[in-house]
Structure 1
Amino acid sequence: MRNPHVTPEVGTWLTRRSSKTADWTVDDLVAAKRGTTVSVVIPARDEEATVGAIVAAIRDELRGRLVDEILVVDSHSTDATAEAAAAAGARVVAQDAVFPGLPAYRGKGEALWKGVAATTGDIVVFVDGDLHDFTTDYVTGLLGPLLTDPSVAYVKGFYHRPLGAEADGGGRVTELVARPLLNMFWPELAGFVQPLAGEYAGRREVLESIPFVVNYGVEIGHLIDLLELRGLDALAQVDLGHRAHRHQSTQALGRMSGQIMQTLFDRLEHYGRLVTAIPPATLLAQFRRGTSDSGVERELVLTDLTSPRHPPLASLRPGNVLRDTA
């Protein structure tokens, strides 16, 4: 097992592997692309109000020069998300239409895994579909390290995340759950400013080599698995500036936190770092306003936090059509 006292390693990594989107121009990256193909995957559920503008910006500024493919994975939307994305120029696939012969789940990680399977780019860039004031600096920033340094395998974004009057009040699950747990069990990852960021990119062979947790545990699972399999120096992060998006309710963040904790404990067991006789329970009890059977104005709500994982896509190649979107 590695020495847990890795503060000097983290400091060296921060200097070596942290950058900002302004470090590269589009022309710089086009020159560095040299035949590498790039797919942008946007997972979206009920994002009619924002997804069209995101797609249109990438289409107008980057497609044909830096980006070869824009894919929106429609994750059971009940609004016109698919129509808005298609009208703006994206190829749209329904989440459950990819690998229809496999079990289908609901969750962000499910949409991301299906997005990788349904695209062809040598590099895959992930962008959330709920961003306001989106700029293509997000895409160029994430591509910078991957196109200019072949030793970089995976890049996470970070940014200022306002919440109300607080300039950096967003990222509550990161600060209250993910960061303390990573510092305890994988301190090598302590240098990531936003380990749960939804904007990141990776080389296809890398993304196809790791499992995808089907829910919000997907990002922390990626970092842990890639650290273990590729080493810290294969990972990088880029300052993307500012991120404005739709914030979730406190109860939704509680469910997200539970999924992240389930994923982290699963990886602890997988890598032999923490073995427990009794696995953590997967049922989360929460309360919302309402009238219960006892007459108390709190209704008990139970959520199953079980976090299934899809296998690495590379493992499905024998006997499977890897990018079946029928």
Structure 2
Amino acid sequence: MLPEVRGWLRHRTSSAADWPLRDLKAAKGETTVSVVLPARDERETVGEIVGVIRRELDGLVDEIVVIDSRSSDDTALVARRAGACVHAQDEILPQLKPMDGKGEALWKSLAVTSGDVLVFVDADIRKFRASLVFGLLGPLFADSTVVYTKGCYDRPLHGTANGGGRVTELVARPLINLHWPQLAGFVQPLAGEYAGRRSALERVPFLTGYGVELGLLIDLLDLAGLDAFAQVDLGSREHAPQSTEALGRMASQIMLAAWSRLLRQGKIESCHEPSVRLAQFRRGPDGHDILLRDVGIGERPPMITVAP
């Protein structure tokens, strides 16, 4: 690990317990905070998350916005009844051709929120705690040079205290250590819980799909430098585990995100576009069936460049 990363870890890593809610409310001042939950078919958890934020973070969070990403269930209704402002992903900036995936929902949230600071939280978290939000705000309120905070946590899975995060360990972490060693200090580089200043988030592109978290780390590093990042230990986080097939699709999009940034930064040369088709196999009655998946990702430009 680079010496500067070791120094960053000591200097810029804290715990949610280091930022008592009472102190954060006092430090908030005129800064406004928007919490954004991208949600697709998350009726089982989204209402509880919104309710916890409303009850426990009144006076700290100014708005809670759910971006409904084409849910087939009543996620939007549940979120609205819990007190969130709900927007359908495809109805935001309707003059633009719709794109798919989580990154699209996060990018579009910039157009319908007003906070100086945005906190992004996944909508599938079980046993949600308010500290998953307010812990991320501590470094931003304490130091104006910090523009982006990333959560880290244990990932319980099948009775193992930290058995989750398989795509991180098998794909994202090796890629980061190989090509962006300044980012090697992030414990959970793909964490869905993070916060940033609007002034920074509006100046970087957003990859769509599951490449968004890796893309933001790389692009914000270029924009602001490592010392503008902070990391907060949020304890633990539980959500429904993904199937191996789903993790394979996620890993493919993260690899495509890395390829796009390596190409943009001149670290690789390419005379052809990478394939965006993923062949997976599932055993059927007559042997192995081939499943062909489109894992392509798109990219939205910095929001500051988009006309209202």
Same-fold call, TM cutoff 0.5: yes
The code of the aligned residue for 2:297 comes to S
SS in structure 1 of the partner of residue 34 of structure 2: strand
In the other structure, the counterpart of 2:34 is 39
Aligned to 2:76: 82
Q: Distance in 1 between matches of 2:283 and 2:80?
A: 39
Match of residue 102, structure 1, among 65, 83, 96: 96
CA distance in 2, matches of 1:154, 1:183: 20
Query: How far did residue 176 of structure 1 move?
Result: 0.2
Aligned twin of 2:292: 302
Query: For 2:208 and 2:2, how far apart are their aligned partners in 1?
Result: 32
Q: What's 1:57 paired with? A: 52
Structure 2 residue corresponding to 1:311, chosen from 278, 285, 301:
301
Which residue of the other structure, out of 5, 19, 42, is the alignment partner of 1:10? 5
Which residue number in structure 2 is paired with residue 3 of structure 1? none
Q: Which residue of 2 aligns with 1:245?
A: 239
Inter-partner Cα distance in structure 2 for 1:133 and 1:87: 19
CA RMSD in angstroms comes to 1.0
Dislocated runs of 4+, deviation >3 Å: none
One-letter amino acid matched to 2:118: V
Aligned residues: 308
* Partners of 1:266 and 1:14 in 2: CA distance: 27
Select which of 166, 170, 175 maps to 1:176: 170
Unaligned runs of 5+ in 1: 1-5, 322-326
1:91 is matched with 85
Establish whether residue 28 from structure 1 lines up as the match of residue 39 from structure 2. no
| Aligned mates of 1:175, 1:97 — CA distance in 2 | 36
Paired residues for 1:106-185 under 5 Å: 106-185=100-179
Looking at structure 2, the residues matched to 290 and 229 of structure 1 have their Cα atoms a distance apart, in angstroms, of 49
Is the 8 Å Cα contact of residues 41 and 116 (structure 1) preserved in structure 2? no
Deviation per CA, 1:43-72: give whole Å up to 9, x if none. Answer: 111111100000001101113x10000001
Equivalent residue letter for 1:20: S
* Per-residue Cα deviation, 1:10-40 (whole angstroms, up to 9, x for no partner): 1001001100000011111111111000000
Deviation at 1:276, TM superposition (A): 2.6
1:229 to 220, 223, 230: 223
- Counterpart of 1:169 in 2: which secondary structure? coil
CA contact 1:157–1:239 (8 Å) conserved in 2:
yes
| Distance in 1 between residues matched to 2:125 and 2:25, nearest whole Å | 25
Once structures 1 and 2 are overlaid, which stretch shifts more, 124-133 or 303-312?
303-312
- In 2, Cα distance between equivalents of 1:307 and 1:272: 20
Shift of 1:138: 0.8
Q: In the alignment, what sits opposite 1:270?
A: 264
Question: Does the residue aligned with 2:191 lie in a helix, a strand or coil?
Answer: coil
Residues of 2 paired with 1:235 and 1:100: CA distance? Answer: 33
**TM-score (normalised: structure 2):** 0.98
Asked if 2 retains the 8 angstrom alpha-carbon contact of 1:44 and 1:129, the reply is yes
CA distance in 1, matches of 2:51, 2:207: 29
Letter in 1 for 2:100: R
* TM-score for the superposition, normalised by structure 1: 0.93
> Conserved in 2, the CA contact under 8 Å of 1:46 and 1:78?
yes
Give the equivalent residue in structure 2 for 1:324: none
